[in-house]
Amino acid sequence: MTSPLVELNNISRHFPGKRTSLFGPPETVRAVDGLSLRINRGEVLSLVGESGSGKSTVGKALMRLTDLTAGEIVFDGQEISRFDRARMRPLRRRIQMVFQDPYASLNPKASVADTLAAPLEIHEPDLTRAQRQDRVADILETVGLSPDFAARYPHEFSGGQRQRIGLARALITKPDLLVADEPISALDVSVQAQVINLLLELQQRLGLTILFISHDLSVVSHISDRIAVMYLGRVVEVAPAEALFRAPRHPYTEALLSAIPEPDMRARRKRMILKGDIPSPVNPPSGCSFRTRCPYAIAECANARPLLEPAGPGHLKACIRDDLDLSPALTSDT
Please report whether residue 22 would count as binding other proteins according to CB under 8 A: no
Residues 42-71 interacting with other proteins (rule: CB under 8 A): 50-51, 63, 65
Give the Cβ contact number of residue 124 at 10 Å: 14
In whole angstroms, give the CA distance from residue 305 to residue 324.
Answer: 18
Chosen residue from 97, 150, 208, 230 binding other proteins by CB under 8 A:
97
In whole angstroms, give the CA distance from residue 161 to residue 329.
Answer: 33
Please report whether residue 217 would count as binding other proteins according to CB under 8 A: yes
Residue 303 beta carbon to other proteins: minimum distance, rounded to whole angstroms: 25
First to last CA, the chain: 31
Chosen residue from 14, 123, 174, 305 binding other proteins by CB under 8 A:
123
Please report whether residue 106 would count as binding other proteins according to CB under 8 A: yes
In whole angstroms, give the CA distance from residue 209 to residue 214.
Answer: 16
Please report whether residue 193 would count as binding other proteins according to CB under 8 A: yes
- Stretch touching other proteins by CB under 8 A, among 6-14, 20-28, 68-76, 272-280: 272-280
Report the chain's C-alpha Rg in angstroms.
21
**Size of residue set near other proteins by CB under 8 A:** 89
Looking at beta carbons only, is 131 or 334 nearer to other proteins? 334
- Stretch touching other proteins by CB under 8 A, among 1-9, 12-20, 68-76, 253-261: 253-261
List the one residue out of 105, 169, 108 whose CA is nearest residue 135: 169
Instruction: Return the SS3 of 114.
Output: helix
Give the H or E element holding residue 34.
Answer: strand 26-39
Looking at beta carbons only, is 151 or 302 nearer to other proteins? 151
Residue 101 beta carbon to other proteins: minimum distance, rounded to whole angstroms: 6
Please report whether residue 306 would count as binding other proteins according to CB under 8 A: no
CA atoms within 13 A on the CB side of 167: 29
Please report whether residue 82 would count as binding other proteins according to CB under 8 A: no
Please report whether residue 99 would count as binding other proteins according to CB under 8 A: yes
In whole angstroms, give the CA distance from residue 100 to residue 54.
Answer: 15
Residues 150-169 interacting with other proteins (rule: CB under 8 A): 151-152, 156-161, 166, 169
In whole angstroms, give the CA distance from residue 35 to residue 13.
Answer: 10
In whole angstroms, give the CA distance from residue 111 to residue 171.
Answer: 17
Angle among Cα 304, 271, 306 to the nearest 5 degrees reads: 10
Chosen residue from 46, 96, 209, 289 binding other proteins by CB under 8 A:
96
Looking at beta carbons only, is 262 or 309 nearer to other proteins? 262
Looking at beta carbons only, is 30 or 293 nearer to other proteins? 293
Looking at beta carbons only, is 295 or 307 nearer to other proteins? 295
List the one residue out of 265, 256, 266, 274 whose CA is nearest residue 329: 256
